[in-house]
Amino acid sequence: MKQSGFGIASLILGIVGLVFSCFIVGIIPAFLGLIFAIIALCQKNTKNGMAIAGLICSIIGIVFSAIIILLGIAGSGSTSQIVLTNKKQEEVRSSSSQTESTMISPGYSFDANGVTVTINDFNLDFTDYDDNYGLYAPSTGKKYICIEVTFTNNAKTDRYVSSIDFQCYADDSICDEKYGLDSDSFIGTSLSSGRKTSGRIYYEVPEDAQSIELEYETDFWTDHKEIMKLQ
């Protein structure tokens, strides 16, 4: 008896399917090898050795390919879930950081992750600065504003507070901070638990500014900002 042509084809396809079972396309030759092996085994007066070998290789190739496909589907679902989770977190983060501005008056305070920040007073046309040598005059068309602030550390650990935690905007344009206009100028310091410090922060803003706002990032992780409208 001679070998069946279908048996030879099933063995070849089974081997190809087994070799490429790590790829999705491997399932195609493996499936064809399975069909040809069944046909060969149903034929009479032919040897079945190659058909049986082709049948085994094809079945193994199909099983391996099916596992790869299932793992791919599961991985894709996990990736999609991660993307959706990250997107949801970003939406929450974005919504939490978008805080409407509040028109404030002297004495306004807020919490910044365990530190109470109090705006004791503010002067939107500060002229009482030290300028003995004419070095600190504001630029043409500009003026100084002065913010008097107190930081109180209510946390259980030391906290560093600084004037750079604030940002000033005039008509939505960021303004430069100015240093050394008088002896009360505040830059930054480390506060022990239960301690507090006060000082003045200065900004140079346009004289004709219609809107002046302060921003303070109260939480680094959520980007939440306290937005205070001074004018």
Q: Write the pLDDT tens digit of every residue in 112-139.
A: 989 999 999 999 999 988 777 777 888 8
pLDDT of residue 96: 44
Q: What is the mean pLDDT of residues 146-156?
A: 95
Nearest to 197 by CA among 124, 145, 130, 148: 148
* C-beta of residue 95 within 8 angstroms of C-beta of residue 225: no
- Give the residue ranges of DSSP H helices in 43-171: 49-97
Nearest to 36 by CA among 2, 20, 59: 59
pLDDT of residue 131: 75
pLDDT of residue 99: 56
pLDDT of residue 185: 86
* Res 79 pLDDT > 60: no
Q: pTM for the full model? A: 0.56
pLDDT of residue 123: 95
Cα separation, 33 vs 48, in Å, equals: 14
Residues 83-100 have pLDDT tens digits of: 566 665 555 445 444 457
Structure tokens at 230: 């001074």
pLDDT of residue 171: 94
Cα separation, 63 vs 14, in Å, equals: 12
* Mean predicted lDDT score pLDDT of the chain: 84
pLDDT of residue 180: 80
Residues 35-49 have pLDDT tens digits of: 888 888 887 777 778
* C-beta of residue 40 within 8 angstroms of C-beta of residue 10: yes
Give residue 20's pLDDT band: very low, low, confident or very high (50, 70, 90): confident
3-state secondary structure of 167: strand
